[in-house]
Structure 1
């Protein structure tokens, strides 16, 4: 058991985040021992044909028999909008001392395959290929479930308080009188203080009960099972173009198809050979229904599909990534205040 000690100030600083890198590394657990992850068996079956082309001998060194992984592979995320490439850059920058020490802690020795000077780069390359092959095609659907859970927990905090929300994270997690207890995760048991460092709560599909840092004293992090994952794989395939057109309208369905990369109203209008005002009306409805996000860059407002739209259309949200310096909150305020897009 791990027990986190939280002051009232620590409770106020609890935050949520999503980590594509953590989901990537933790998903190795499901491939190593599928019986422990019954809800993810459809994904395990779907990716089996692709595993032969991966460096599985190296990837298997990143998770031990008790499902432990080096912490440098799962850097603590800071936002629900974290991107895999950003985290991969953090992993690539790990110092050699930490790399060796954490691999030894997990494997009881430094694996010979990773002992050379190219050990870090080999891990990064293997993870990048693994992500592109077995995670990225399914990530929009996974992220939708994770994001929806964070939204639910946020409402729970607003209505009932942080303490009540913590008590509802999962059967292995309980909170009372400043003590957050996480069962089934650490042997021997240990107690750690948050001490103003901030507790990050991270929904993960590959717990299955809870996830904590491997290192004692690491930055406070708790992975927990998200709501709704039982229905994650119930939709076998995305709707056809005809079905999508019936649902949202032919014009709006076509706009969603065009958003393989961020586009302006004028760009979309030129593509469809209609007026910008006509496109703007469709985009405003798509925005209000949560299918597109407007984001400001310079004098332009770019539109990109949301996770919900990616799930609906069966497209890869990574293809429409907006530069990291843009924030949805700023763009939405700009749009609401009548800033013209060009």
Structure 2
């Protein structure tokens, strides 16, 4: 059991975040022992054709038999909008002594010829093969859970939210207790460092840092996992066009990166006013969101749109 001691300021500073790289690293658990992750069997089955081609000479060192992973692989995320590329850069800059010490702590040894660069390269390949095609769906569920927890905080308070994170997590009188996570119990004071709550599909009960004294972080199981893989493949573009109309489906398909109304109009060979009308409808239905850069307004797809299209967004 891990017990986090939180004072009143710590409670006020609780933050939520989503970590693409943590989901990727923790997903190795499900591939290693699928029986422990019944809610993710849809994903495990879907990626089986790609699994054999992965570099297991590296991946085998990233999660041990008790499902522990070196903390440098799961840097504490800073927001719900954390990008994979930023996290991989953090990993790439890990100091050699930290890299070797944490690998030895998790695996009992430091494998020969394993370098940080090789780990980052293998993780990038792993992401492209088995995570990227499904990340839109995963991220939508994780983000929806954060929205729900935020609503609980505003309606019932932080204590009620913490007590609703999962059966292994309980909070009372400044003590946040996390069960089923460590053989040896330990107590750690947050002491103004900030507690980050991170929904993860690959808990399954809870996830904590491997190293005692690491920055406070708690992974918890999000709501809605039971139906996450009821339909493994995203809808086709034809299906989407039937749902929202061909012009608007075409606009979403073009939004692989933020674009202006004028840019889209030029691409589609229509007037900016016609594109603007479609964008306003897509915005009202929660499928695109604007972001201002200087005098320009750029449009990008929302989490819901990513889920519907199955596209990745820069």
Q: Which category of TM-score, normalised to the shorter sequence, fits these structures? A: over 0.9
Divergent runs of 4+, >4 A? none
Structure 1 residue 251: deviation in Å? 2.2
Unaligned runs of 5+ in 1: 322-342
Counterpart-to-counterpart distance in 2, 1:180 and 1:53 = 41
CA contact (8 A) 2:43 2:232 kept: no
Structure 1 residue 285: deviation in Å? 1.8
Relative to the length of structure 2, the TM-score reads: 0.97
Query: Which position in structure 1 is the counterpart of 2:273?
Result: 277
Structure 1 residue 266: deviation in Å? 0.9
Counterpart-to-counterpart distance in 1, 2:240 and 2:184 = 53
Structure 1 residue 274: deviation in Å? 2.2
Structure 1 residue 246: deviation in Å? 2.9
Structure 1 residue 243: deviation in Å? 2.8
Query: Which position in structure 2 is the counterpart of 1:197?
Result: 193
Matched, 1:296 2:292: yes
Structure 1 residue 295: deviation in Å? 1.5
Any idea what the Cα deviations from partners look like across 1:3-26, whole Å, max 9, x if unmatched? 000011100000000001101110
Structure 1 residue 31: deviation in Å? 0.6
Query: Which position in structure 1 is the counterpart of 2:111?
Result: 111
SS class of match (2:259): coil
Query: Which position in structure 2 is the counterpart of 1:158?
Result: 154
Structure 1 residue 45: deviation in Å? 1.2
Structure 1 residues 312 and 222: CA distance shift in structure 2, 3 A: same
SS class of match (2:233): coil
Query: Which position in structure 2 is the counterpart of 1:136?
Result: 132
Query: Which position in structure 2 is the counterpart of 1:92?
Result: 92
SS class of match (1:140): helix
Matched, 1:121 2:120: no
Any idea what the Cα deviations from partners look like across 1:111-166, whole Å, max 9, x if unmatched? 2242xxxx111111111111111111111110000000000001110110000000
Query: Which position in structure 2 is the counterpart of 1:329?
Result: none
Q: Which has the higher contact order (CA 8 A, sep 6+)?
A: 2
Which of 255, 259, 276 aligns to 1:259? It is 255
SS class of match (2:198): strand
Moved more, 193-202 or 48-57: 48-57
SS class of match (2:177): strand
Which of 163, 175, 181 aligns to 1:179? It is 175
Query: Which position in structure 2 is the counterpart of 1:326?
Result: none
CA contact (8 A) 1:68 1:106 kept: yes
Relative to the length of structure 1, the TM-score reads: 0.89
Query: Which position in structure 2 is the counterpart of 1:4?
Result: 4
Any idea what the Cα deviations from partners look like across 1:235-284, whole Å, max 9, x if unmatched? 23333334322322232122112212221101112222322122112212
Query: Which position in structure 2 is the counterpart of 1:47?
Result: 47
CA contact (8 A) 1:58 1:113 kept: no
Corresponding pairs, count: 314
